[in-house]
Amino acid sequence: MDTICYENFDDMIREFPTTTDTFDKEGRPVGTLDVSQWNIRNAVITGRAQRLLRYTNMLMENVTRQVLERQKNKLNVTQWTVVMNAEGVNMINHGCRACIPIWVQFMASMDNNYPEWLHEFIAIDAPLTVYTIVRILQPFLSRHTREHMRLFGTDSQNWRRYLDSKISRDQRSEVYGGFKKSPY
């Protein structure tokens, strides 16, 4: 993990868009996952599942280092947040039998390597498929993670109102109801 942030993930960035340049109103780093564009099944069948997991670990390490940097600058920040755009998540590309172990390993890595660093895991624009996947994952999630998950369906007024209370619009890209230009 010491060198993971220096590895080249250009191949993953194109296929699995994420950002770590956002902060909530309390100064916590926010990692965004635009899972609507992810094809986890393709990563698995092309032999890149471990690469995808390494990439998600790099993202968690990146936001954790941002927390430590903020602490070094005397800010009272101890956790980070994840916001996931789940629009279009489906059982073929995201919830298939080969995909579920990727989700389990991702969440287990978060729970095991970054215990209680998670402030919130927020999924927006979540179709019913997301609720099914989360139900499958429940037994593998720590109590802390289960209690800090917020799932919002496709009613954009509902999730926008919630995100507005947590993260300023100027910190969020358009996909997340903000004003920033999306980097992807």
Mean pLDDT per 10-residue interval, the chain, length 184 residues: 89 93 96 95 97 96 96 97 97 96 96 95 97 96 96 97 98 94 78
Give the H/E segment covering residue 132.
helix 128-137
Burial 82-114 (b: 16+ CB within 10 A, else e): bbbbbbebeeebbbeeebbebbebbbbebbeeb
Backbone Cα Rg of the chain: 16
Q: How high is the pLDDT of residue 182?
A: 79
The pLDDT value recorded for residue 108 is 95
| Residue 35 in tokens | 């899972």
Please give the pLDDT value at position 181.
84
Tally helices (H) and strands (E) across the chain.
Answer: 7, 5
106 CB-near residues (< 8 Å, 6+ apart) = 53, 56
> Looking at residue 89, what is its pLDDT?
97
